[in-house]
Amino acid sequence: MKSKKLNYLTAVAGLILAGIGLYLVKTQTSPAGLMLTLPYICVGIGCGFFGHGMGNIISHNIMKNYKDEYKQMEIEKNDERNIAILNASKAKAYDIMVFVLGALMISLALMNVDLIVVLLLVFAYLFIQGSAIYYRSKFDKIM
């Protein structure tokens, strides 16, 4: 029940946020600074929230009529083999991401892109690597 309310709240919040963003896009005559991008950020995040909430609501309403199939889907989702496959695919995607972000940082630096953009990408890269090291040491202690 709590999840159902949360889904409706997410969908409504997404509509409100997207509406605010569209209103700001249409009413501002000469935006400057943060107001150049804020309306579009609101529209994007609002659409994401709305889509997530409505997707959950629709799937919940459909699965309400098919309880046996819902149980089977839950069993398959929590199956150890499927979880191992999911974790292996995430690990492979992480390995690819490390090289892609590295190449992107180098190419942006060589193209003389604004230093702030390159530094933001470097800090994001270092944050990802730092969290990988943290979780590696945490899981080494546990396992």
pLDDT, position 143: 79
Q: Rounded mean pLDDT of 108-123? A: 91
Please name which of 22, 48, 43, 24 lies closest in space to residue 35, comparing C-alpha atoms.
Answer: 24
**Most confident region among 12-16, 29-33, 136-140 by mean pLDDT:** 12-16
- For the stretch 26-84, pLDDT in tens is 998 888 877 888 899 999 999 999 999 999 999 888 888 888 888 888 888 888 888 88
- Residues near 25 by Cβ (< 8 Å), separated by ≥ 6? 39, 40, 43
| Cα distance between residue 93 and residue 15, in whole Å | 32
pLDDT, position 77: 80
pLDDT, position 13: 95
pLDDT at 1 over 70: no
- For the stretch 76-109, pLDDT in tens is 888 888 888 988 999 999 999 999 999 999 999 9
Write down the domain spans for the chain: 1-78, 79-143
Give the angle 35-25-31 at the CA atoms, nearest 5°: 35
Please name which of 51, 46, 47, 53 lies closest in space to residue 3, comparing C-alpha atoms.
Answer: 53
pLDDT at 2 over 70: no
